[in-house]
A = this chain, B = another copy of it.
Amino acid sequence: MSERERSHWAWGYTDAFPDEPGREALAAQVGALLGREVSLRPLPTLESARLSDPRVLPPVSLAPISSAAPKDRILHTYGKGYRDLVRAYRGDFSVAPDWVSFPRSEEDIEQLLAHCAVEGIAVIPYGGGTSVVGGIEASVGDRPRGVVSLDLRRLDRVLEIEPVSRSARIQAGATGPVLEEQLAPHGLTLRHFPQSFEFSTLGGWIATRAGGHFATLYTHIDDLVSSIRMITPAGTWASRRLPASGAGPNPDRLALGSEGILGVITEAWVRLQARPRYRASASVTFPRFADGVRACRMLAQSGLYPSNCRLLDRTDALLGGVFVDGEAVLLLAFESADHPLGPSMDRALVITAEAGGICPEGPVFREERGEGARAQATYKQSFFRAPYLQSALVSLGVLADTFETACTWDRFEALDAAVHEAVLPALQRALGGGVLARRFTHVYPDGPAPYYTFIGPARDGHELETWAAIKDAASHAILASGGTITHHHAVGRVHRPYFRAERPEPFEAALRAAKRAVDPAGIMNPGALFEPDER
């Protein structure tokens, strides 16, 4: 269990939140960006948090693993999306769960589910609490008599490492750093680095089909999972550990993305990789964003499989502190534990040049034996720092959020135009202005995963409505242009109405029926993915 204190309202550790000089510098920076004065607001205290008394309490049998203490309930009320930050900043914890359980074993989980099924109490599996889509929020409809947050933090061990197949059996509550630390002595890595890496967990990644940092090939956790154990109210769902199979629909693929509605994921066998030895990187700039898009498409279809292929537009580069002499910059990288990367990088730079890109500094090649780990850590620190800044912006009265999608290459130009046509006027109407930045986080042979950031001055007291209007405009633009409502942020409760427009209708019927089969009392995270059943 972590000893550093987590903020009750903001992203991450309390001691890592920007201090006063840090917030002042951020205020100056974002004020310049938005062309208006931005000033510091006081930070909320835990004491000012408001929540109701629990409606139900844990039975004596569950007391050793349960807590109804206000602080635990508060810490398990929200994820870390913009609307979560705003509500928590305001001290509004009215949707807090009634209690929190910290099971130590699958038996504890079985006992908890059995109690809740009999009593009609909803159960929300909780990993790192980093959902940005309301996936762990106790908005469960009017049927349950209460809500328990089931925190998996005590199940955080790497149980087995099997080096021949480069696989490990890992408990669902292990966070990124905790599992990587246990793998490192074996020279192995899961190599799955979502931006929430520091806090999010293996079980959470599986439940939400999380996307990692790497741009091609094994982008989602889906591809790294070789078997899953999940405790459902109807029994244990344990798949066979296999490299591949063709026997019926893949059971793991039904657990992947199930967002807690079928059961509690307790562990998984995952595919590891040797730690990279060779690295190559380059920055390529383009006169027009469309040229960068074309380069990304050609790279994605080349069979070269870069580990990084991150295209930033000028605004996004500015926000990220990346210098760009042009309208777009492509951060390109290759990694291998096996072979030098000269041929791959050389060919990639020929491709980007054909698309009009220039790489004035040339590529950088590194061969690492141990000491390289430090450089990587520095890079990661800045990547993992971004969510702290979003929380700090909320404390400055600035609205800042991201949304992301994936679409086929032929549809990207129209989708991008539709997003701009929807979001910029929405920002103007609601806030009198703001900025919209874009990047590709992942690229596939048949399409990119575009990722947008919007920032504007929030109107005090109206943050949630303003945000909802912009989010809705963006979501409709994406869906109408053939994109998906999310490439790697899951559905939860926020994306539910848009997911409804995207999924095949009989598939919803099939999934609801599957849920009823393994969760007849309807206690597992009701309200995630689709509307909860009515009373």
A interface residues, Cβ below 8 angstroms from B: 162, 164-167, 208-211, 219-220, 222, 226, 230, 232, 234-251, 253-259, 262-263, 271, 273-274, 297, 301-305, 336-339, 343, 347, 406-410, 442, 444-449, 482-491, 495, 499, 502-507, 509-518, 529
Q: Chain B residue with minimal CB distance to A350?
A: B339
Bound together, the chains give a CA A503 to CA B240 distance in angstroms of 7
- The distance in angstroms between the C-alpha atoms of A305 and B303, with both chains bound, is 10
Task: Select A446's contact among B165, B337, B408, B505, beta carbons within 8 Å.
Answer: B165
Bound complex: CA A75 to CA B211 (Å): 47
Q: Across the interface, which residues of B come within 8 angstroms of A487, CB to CB?
A: 244-246
Select from chain B the residue with minimum beta-carbon distance to A221.
Answer: B246
Known contacts A240-B484, A242-B408; A339 and B304 CB within 8 A of each other: yes
A251-B410 contact, Cβ under 8 Å, with A246-B210, A271-B446: no
30 inter-chain pairs at a CB distance below 8 angstroms, sorted by A residue, are A164-B409, A165-B446, A209-B246, A211-B246, A220-B244, A232-B506, A234-B509, A235-B506, A239-B504, A241-B482, A242-B406, A243-B445, A243-B449, A244-B484, A246-B487, A248-B511, A249-B253, A249-B256, A250-B253, A251-B507, A254-B507, A304-B338, A304-B339, A339-B343, A506-B517, A506-B518, A509-B518, A510-B515, A510-B517, A513-B517
CB pair B410–A442 under 8 Å, yes or no, is no
Of all chain B residues, the one with the shortest Cβ separation from A411 is: B165
Partner of A226, one of B242, B243, B446, B507: B446
Q: A512 and B502 in contact (CB under 8 A), knowing A240-B482, A246-B220?
A: no
Contacting pair B243 A407 (CB below 8 A): yes
Bound CA–CA A162/B410 (angstroms): 8
Beta-carbon contact of A162 and B408 below 8 Å: yes
In the bound assembly, the distance between CA atoms of A209 and B253 in angstroms comes to: 13
* Separation of A274 and B300 alpha carbons in the complex (Å): 12
Q: Are B257 and A246 in contact (CB under 8 A)?
A: yes
By the criterion CB–CB under 8 Å, are B247 and A486 in contact? Answer: yes
Partner of A247, one of B241, B410, B449, B491: B491
Max chain B C-beta neighbours (<10 A), residue from A271, A337, A489: A271
Task: Name the distance in Å between A166's Cβ and chain B's nearest Cβ.
Answer: 6
